[in-house]
A and B are shown apart, each in its own frame.
Chain A
Amino acid sequence: MRPEDLRKEFPALSRKVYGKDLVYFDNAATVQRPQCVLELWDYLSRNSNANIHRAVHKMADEATEAYEQARLYVKDFINAGYREEIIFTSGATASVNLVAYSFGERFVNAGDEIIVTECEHHSDIIPWQLLCERKHAVLKVLPTDDTGHLKLGMLDSLITDRTKLLAVTHISNVLGLMNPVTRIVEKCHSRGVKVLIDGAQGIVHSGVDVREIDCDFYVFSGHKVYAVPGTGVLYGKKELLEQMPPFMGGGEMVGTVKFSGTTYAPLPLKFEAGTQNFTGTATLKPALELAAEISRDSELRGFHDGIRDYLYSELMKVPGLRLFGTTDDMDEKIPLFSFCIDGVHHEDLALILDKTGIAVRSGQMCAEPLMDRFGVSGMLRISLAPYNTMQEAEYFMKSLYRAIKMLK
C-alpha cells in the first residue's frame, strides 16, 4: 500500500484549511480517525448503547461484548499474558496516575525513591511528584545527553536500595528517539526496581511486546493510535495489580458492599470504577487492527522510512536550524522532528505554516524540563503518520523556507 491509498481511510485528511489542502503534521498530539473506527463508534452508539457488565438484556450484552473484545485484542496486540492485565482508562495520563497512586499506596514509603527521566512528558512527571509529596518519597531524574539520549551509564549509581520504581518513556514526544527500554528494564530488575513505560508514542511506532520488554507497567492512549479520545490502556503484571489497592471507588469495581466493609471485584474490573467509556474503548479493536495492518505492510513502511530520512537530511541543511533528538542510527528515530531556528520564534513559524495549510505543534510540548535542559523557551515540532506523503514533506520544506524568509 502507498501512503496515498491509506489516506483514503481518513476522511479528515481530504479537507481544506484556508482554501489549501490540509497537511496534518501534528500526529504525535493526536492522529486522525479512520473510517473503521468512526463506523464502529457510530454503529455502537446507534444500536448497542447500554451500560456494560451488569444488565442481562440484549443491548447490554452487545455493548459488553464489544468492550471485552477490545480487551482481548489489546492483550494480543501487546502480547500480554492475561486479559486481567489489561485495564481500560481514559488515557495514558489516567493510567500513570492510577499506578502512581495505587502502586504508591502499596509499595512506597517515606524515604523511598522514584526515578523519572529528563525527557518525560509532564504526564509522566507530575503523578510521581504528587506521590512523592504524599509519601515523603524522593524523586530522582535520569538525565539525557546533548543528542537527547538517556545517560544510561548513570543509572547504576542513581539506583539505591530505596528505589522502588523507574518511569521512562518508550519514545519521547519531543525527541522522537526510541529508548532502549528492554535494557533499562533488565538493569532495574537486577536491582529490584519496577519499571513503568509511557508508551503514548511507542505504541504507534514500534511493535510492543510487553513480555519481551518484561516491563511491569505499560501505558498508552487510544487517540494517538487511531481510536477515539478518552480511551486508554494500563498494562500491568498480574501479580502486581493483584497486590495494589483500588484507585477509585464506585460501581463495577466491587465484590460486596457493606457499611462494615467492602470487597473488590477481581482484575481487571477492580480498577474500572464507574461507567466506563465503553463505546469509545470498543474502537481500540478496529484501531489496533489497522495499526497492525499498517505495520505488516512493508511497502508502506518503505515509504514512511523514506519520508523520515528525507526530512531528517533536509532539516539538517536549513541554516541556523537546531534539531533536538539526533542520531546516526535511523532505526531508533521516528518521523518526529522538534527544532528551533536561530532568530525565529517557534510560534511565528507555526502561525505562518498554519496559513499555508500545515498543522504543526509549537511550544513546550508538555515537557518543560526538557526545554530547560536544552535552554529554549519552546520548539517547533512536526510529527508524521504513515498516511503522510512525500509530496506533503516536500511542500512542508518549501513552506518552512518561505516562513523563515518572512520572519528574518
Chain B
Amino acid sequence: MTTMDGKSLQDVENEVIDEFSIFDDWLDKYEYLIELGKSLKEYPEDRKTDDRLVKGCQSRVWIDFSIENGRIFFNADSDAIITKGIISLLVRIYSGRTPEEILSSDFSVVERIGLKENLSPTRANGLVSMIQMIRAIAAANLQ
C-alpha cells in the first residue's frame, strides 16, 4: 500500500537508509539528526501528557496520533534535539500508514542506519520504547 505521495513504507525506509549512507562520520549524522529535529512539526504543549510520554528514555519523548481514513498520523516531540531527530525519522516513515502496514514492518531500518549500535544503551532503550509505542498504537487501532 502507498501513501498519498505514492511511496510505499519500504520506499521511505530505503530513502532514509540512502540519506544516512552519505555520512561517514557520526558527528555528521548527528548534525543531520539535529536538522531533522528542528524541522519537526510543532507539537502542542497541552498534549505533553503522561499517557503520551514514552517510558524508558533519558530525555522526555511524547508521541501523539490521529486517525484519518484508516491511516495513523503521528506527531511527536522531545526535549532533547537528537532524540527529536530520531523520532522525526520514525514519524516520517510510519505516519500516514495503516495499522497493518506498521505492524508488518520489522523496524530494522533503525539498525540499518546504525542508530541502535551507535547510541548509548540508555538511548537505545529509549529507541526501543519509541518503537514499542508506535506498534502499540497500531495494534490498538487494527480494524
Contact = CB atoms under 8 A, between A and B. Distances in A.
State yes or no: do A and B come from one complex.
yes
A352 B122 CA distance: 15
Most buried by A among B80, B119, B120: B80
Most chain B CB within a 10 A radius of its CB, from A18, A351, A406, A407: A351
Give the bracket for the number of chain B residues in contact with chain A.
Answer: 10 to 19
B82 A347 contact: yes
A356 B27 contact: yes
Interface in A356-399: 356, 362-363, 377-378
Q: What's the dominant secondary structure at chain A's contact region?
A: helix
A363 B58 contact: yes
B116 to A, nearest CB: 14
Nearest to B119: A351
A345 B81 contact: yes
Given A345-B59, A363-B58, A351 B30 contact: yes
Interface in B87-126: 119-120, 122-123
B26 A18 contact: yes
Nearest to B25: A355
A186 interface: no
A354 interface: yes
Given A362-B58, A363-B58, A377-B60, A347 B30 contact: no
Contacts of A61: none
B83 A406 contact: no
B34 interface: yes
A355 B114 CA distance: 14
Contact of B27 (A345, A352, A362, A377): A352
A345 B79 contact: yes
Contact of B81 (A350, A354, A407): A407
A377 B34 CA distance: 20
B83 A347 contact: yes
Nearest to B60: A377
A356 B27 CA distance: 8
B18 interface: no
Contacts of A348: 34, 80-83
Contacts of B60: 377
A330 B34 CA distance: 38
A118 to B, nearest CB: 23
B80 A345 contact: yes
Interface string B15-43: 00000000000110011001000000000
A378 B81 contact: no
Contacts of A355: 26-27, 30
A347 B59 contact: yes
B80 A406 contact: no
Interface of B: 26-27, 30-31, 34, 58-60, 79-83, 119-120, 122-123
Name the 5 nearest CB pairs between A and B, nearest first. Answer: A345-B80, A355-B26, A347-B80, A347-B59, A348-B82
7 contacts: A347-B80, A348-B82, A351-B120, A352-B27, A352-B82, A355-B26, A407-B34
Interface of A: 18, 345, 347-348, 350-352, 354-356, 362-363, 377-378, 406-407
